[in-house]
Amino acid sequence: MAAPPRILPAKSPAGPLDRRPAAKGFTLLELIVVLFLAGLVAALVVPSFSGTLESARLRSSAAEMRAALTLARTLAASGSRVRAVSFDVERGEYAVVGEERKYLLPEGIRIASARVGTSAAVSELFRVRFFPDGSAEGAEIVVASSAGGRLRVIVDPLTGIVEAGI
């Protein structure tokens, strides 16, 4: 005689042998947690960028001032005549005398102090002269930001070479 057929227990729909694909995606709670963490990180990081931007503007201003002073030195040597850069501290403006272009310090950047030649400090208006032999009036101009950063632009009196960021 033949053995009776075996009856197997029914599979539960949620059992481990269920072959249905799992639902893909994120739950609303997971999305809220991720957005909260991203917002928290952004709130901590953004304030540090304002200091970086201010520092970049300060460095850029000092470099541009250095370029204008170097241009005056080059024009003095190539034109065999004295050239100067004039500064207006109150307006934050400077220009190579005899040239059309005027330079303007960006908002939040100012000339904190300046010394030209042997004078201890200069007034609101001053000039730095460059001579045809490559020398210059020695000068030290301190450029400052509203955040408190400071950079010096120095003109060497013997060589007329301008250095910024010291």
Total count of residues recorded for the chain: 166
Question: What total number of domains does the chain contain?
Answer: 1
Asked, for residue 6, whether it belongs to a domain, the answer is no
β-pair type (93-96, 125-130): unpaired
Provide the domain limits for residue 87. Answer: 28-164
* pTM, rounded to two decimals: 0.70
The CATH number linked to 122 is 3.55.40.10
Asked, for residue 48, whether it belongs to a domain, the answer is yes
DSSP string, 99-127: -S-EEEPPTTEEEEEEEETT-S---SEEE
Asked, for residue 153, whether it belongs to a domain, the answer is yes
* Cα–Cα distance for residue pair 93/69, rounded to 1 Å: 13
Tokens at 43, concatenated: 């709130």
Residue pLDDT, tens place only, 113-165: 999 987 766 678 899 999 999 999 999 999 999 888 999 999 999 999 999 97
Residue pLDDT, tens place only, 96-115: 999 999 999 998 899 999 99
Asked, for residue 92, whether it belongs to a domain, the answer is yes
